[in-house]
Structure 1
Amino acid sequence: MSADASTNQDELYAVADFCLIPVGTAEPSVAEYIAECQRVLEKSGLSFKMHGYGTNLEGPWTAVSEAIHACHKAVHAKGAARVATDIRIGTRTDKALPPGQGNALKVQRVEDILKQQS
């Protein structure tokens, strides 16, 4: 599915945060598995940003879900016997979010409030 939400007006635009956790790996570090997931996300065409304990991901709901599914498949293919994922997804219908900027705008809003109050 295209990351362009304009292809389906009924599709909700999703702003998500997910933490993919490979289980049953030979090493305590899971960085190689997370790097594989990031490669999958690069190919998805969606806006994403990795952080210390997960990844922000945004785009049409279906595409976001498909990208997380593809990450699971890729991490299993890399050898992880089990994969657990915590997902938080937000949507809103009161205003349109510019594609790829939902998370950045949320952070900017809080930073602006902090600047005003200092």
Structure 2
Amino acid sequence: MAIVEVTVAPLGTESTSISSYVAGCQKILEKQDKVKYTLTPMGTILEGDLNDCMKLVRKMHETPFQVGAERVTTQIKIDDRRDVNGTMEQKLDSVKTKINKDS
């Protein structure tokens, strides 16, 4: 199970706002059911099979081009852990446990 953080940003558009582009990427995710996802203020977290995640990243990357962007930058971080079945919730719970332990 992979956890992938992706941020897709069009460059050189007429506006400094990118929320409509983010919405387009989210629509890609809503149309599928293989990968769990969470929108954050700075990007989107995907959780699932790495191949499935990367196919979605590719579709998300293409979305701004389809509505007129001339240049798109996409940042990807991959946490592909194979010793345990890690999830987004498990990662957060692990940190919270350590915070509570030290309190």
Question: Alpha-carbon deviation of 1:61?
Answer: 0.9
Contact 1:18 1:86 in 2 (8 A): yes
SS in structure 2 of the partner of residue 27 of structure 1: coil
Q: Which residue of 1 aligns with 2:8?
A: 20
Quick one: distance in 1 between partners of 2:80 and 2:3? 6
For 2:71, give the aligned amino acid: R
Quick one: distance in 1 between partners of 2:99 and 2:62? 41
Quick one: distance in 2 between partners of 1:40 and 1:96? 25
Quick one: distance in 2 between partners of 1:54 and 1:88? 11
The TM-score with structure 1 as length reference comes to 0.81
Q: Which residue of 2 aligns with 1:109?
A: 94
Q: Deviations over 1:34-68 (max 9, x none)?
A: 01001101112211111111111111111101101
Q: Does residue 41 of structure 1 match 2:26? A: no
SS in structure 1 of the partner of residue 31 of structure 2: helix
Quick one: distance in 2 between partners of 1:112 and 1:27? 42
Quick one: distance in 2 between partners of 1:114 and 1:85? 32
Quick one: distance in 2 between partners of 1:53 and 1:68? 15
**Over aligned residues, Cα RMSD in angstroms?**
1.1
Quick one: distance in 2 between partners of 1:27 and 1:96? 41
Whose relative contact order is higher, 1 or 2, with alpha carbons under 8 Å and at least 6 apart? 2
Contact 1:23 1:84 in 2 (8 A): yes
Quick one: distance in 1 between partners of 2:68 and 2:92? 35
Q: Identity, % of aligned pairs?
A: 29
Question: Alpha-carbon deviation of 1:96?
Answer: 2.4
Gaps of 5+ in 2: none
Q: Matched residue pairs, number?
A: 102
Q: Which residue of 1 aligns with 2:40?
A: 51
